[in-house]
Amino acid sequence: MDTIAAISTPMGEGAIAIVRLSGSDAFGIAEKLFKSVNGHKIMQVPSHTIHYGHIIDPKTNEVAEEVMISVMKGPKTFTKEDVIEINCHGGIVSVNRVLQLLLTNGARLAEPGEFTKRAFLNGRIDLSQAEAVMDLIRAKTDRAMNMALSQMEGRLSKLIRRLRQEILETLAHVEVNIDYPEYDDVEEMTHNLLLEKASLVQKEIQKLLQTSQQGRILREGLSTVIVGRPNVGKSSLLNSLVHENKAIVTDIPGTTRDVIEEYVNVRGVPLRLVDTAGIRETEDIVERIGVERSRQVLKEADLLLLVLNFADILTEEDENLFKAVEGMDVIVIVNKTDLPQQIDMERVQFLSKNHKLVTTSLLKEQGIDELEKSIAALFFEGEIEARDMTYVSNTRHISLLHQALQSIEDAINGIKMGTPIDMAQIDLTRTWEILGEIIGESVHESLIDQLFSQFCLGK
């Protein structure tokens, strides 16, 4: 493969920036540009060592940057290729100068994610582990980071490989029974035995899919929408959860005229928090557009925080909001408890009978703790921590697991109906192939070889 280069740290001012080289000519390119203060040559130094010196522009022989260079010989690197990492000053000009010198001396600018792609193509990691690299970078909570680390370490891969091996051995067993019926020392593959094997795989796939809701939330964030009439404290709630004044708070109804979105970590649950315009009938054209957008995001939410005003009577608009959120995950928040009570709490409790009810005074910073506990408990109460089980969070993986489950269930239904074993084998093979797509393994080219490598058929 050709040699690629890219800046591996965020652009901007900082103490240190890293420019990475990977490929067969990484050492040669670095040798052209690097001058060690100790006279060391890149080609001659031990692997996994770091050296101080300068990047020299070969055309002018002038010093371009003061650097530390890490030398790592393949295959014991992330990409399994020769890798050079140049640590330079973190200014925009300095890091770009180093990159440009690499590109004009034989390297090619890497495509997005190409270092990880090479790690996958060179067999260091599988596809699910490669996808976990980006999940790790984008993790917004400790739980999300633990889940990504677990996937990077291969927990999901090992489970998928074990399931594929179970299917593979079953398929091989079927092949032996069909092609070599005269072998008395091979257990006969009956419908009951095949059903037992298929049911074990089905249960494992179902168990993985049971984690997908929590996994998706950890990975993408829980879409949480704050709804309520104008001036009940929606923007104050957003500011309290974010711990920053992101939304304008006034006593004037209709101040929030558009959807405001923020990410916030609530006790390990990443929330994609959305503050909406107060839902009411209005003649104001701009506010009316905001209300319509509020109604739209309402339909797309995972969790709704329905805010009511303790110091105001329960209105028809409030009652309509309860009807609009029926059947959804809702936490009802009665705010402004520091003011004299006007709301009918008995009616609120009746309307909230299927939802968690929390009272708050955001002005006095009361009730926020209970609200955060309620949010975390709603989705993770009784669940095992991410580090203790295999979570599935990637949309592609979830889709493939659903396909694999359908395929294995087709096989099970066929077996129960007495379908010939060699017909059930088709659905089992399809399940094996789909699971292989999760970890990026070749399917069709290796299936027969793997089948026959499991058994000594030539004895």
In the chain, where the domains are located = 4-121, 155-211+391-453, 221-380
CA distance 255 to 455: 73
Closest C-alpha to 273, from 232, 235, 307, 310:
235
| Token pair recorded at residue 251 | 């006593």
Closest C-alpha to 306, from 374, 257, 252:
374
CA distance 181 to 187: 10
pLDDT computed for residue 295 by the predictor: 59
Beta-ladder partners of 303: 224
> What's the number of CA atoms in the CB half-sphere (13 Å) around residue 309?
19
pLDDT computed for residue 22 by the predictor: 95
If DSSP codes are grouped into helix, strand and coil, which group holds residue 88?
strand
Whether the Cβ atoms of residue 262 and residue 246 lie closer than 8 Å to each other? yes
pLDDT computed for residue 442 by the predictor: 54
> What are phi and psi for residue 156, nearest 5 degrees?
-65, -40
| Token pair recorded at residue 304 | 């709704």
Single-letter residue type at 201: V
Q: What DSSP element (H or E) covers 127?
A: helix 127-138
pLDDT computed for residue 268 by the predictor: 74
User: H-type helices in 180-306, by residue range?
Assistant: 191-210, 212-220, 234-242, 285-299
pLDDT computed for residue 189 by the predictor: 60
Whether the Cβ atoms of residue 50 and residue 68 lie closer than 8 Å to each other? yes
Decide if domain 155-211+391-453 falls under CATH 3.40.50.1000.
Answer: no
pLDDT tens sequence for the chain (459 residues): 799 999 988 877 888 999 999 999 999 999 999 999 988 899 899 999 999 999 999 999 999 999 999 999 999 999 999 999 999 998 889 999 999 999 999 999 988 888 888 888 898 888 888 878 777 777 777 777 877 788 888 888 899 999 999 998 888 877 766 655 555 554 566 778 888 888 999 999 998 888 777 777 777 777 888 888 878 888 788 888 877 554 333 343 443 434 467 778 887 778 888 766 544 444 454 445 455 655 566 667 788 899 999 999 998 888 888 888 888 889 999 999 999 999 999 999 999 888 899 999 988 889 988 988 888 887 765 444 444 457 787 888 888 999 999 999 999 998 888 888 778 888 998 999 999 988 877 544 443 333 333 333 222
Superfamily designation of domain 221-380: P-loop containing nucleotide triphosphate hydrolases (3.40.50.300)
Contacts of 359 (CB under 8 A, 6+ apart): 310, 333, 334, 335, 337, 367
CA distance 330 to 320: 14
The listed CATH number (3.30.1360.120, 3.30.230.10, 1.10.20.140, 3.40.50.300) that belongs to domain 4-121: 3.30.1360.120
CA distance 86 to 94: 12
CA distance 364 to 242: 16
| Token pair recorded at residue 105 | 């001396």
pLDDT computed for residue 179 by the predictor: 55
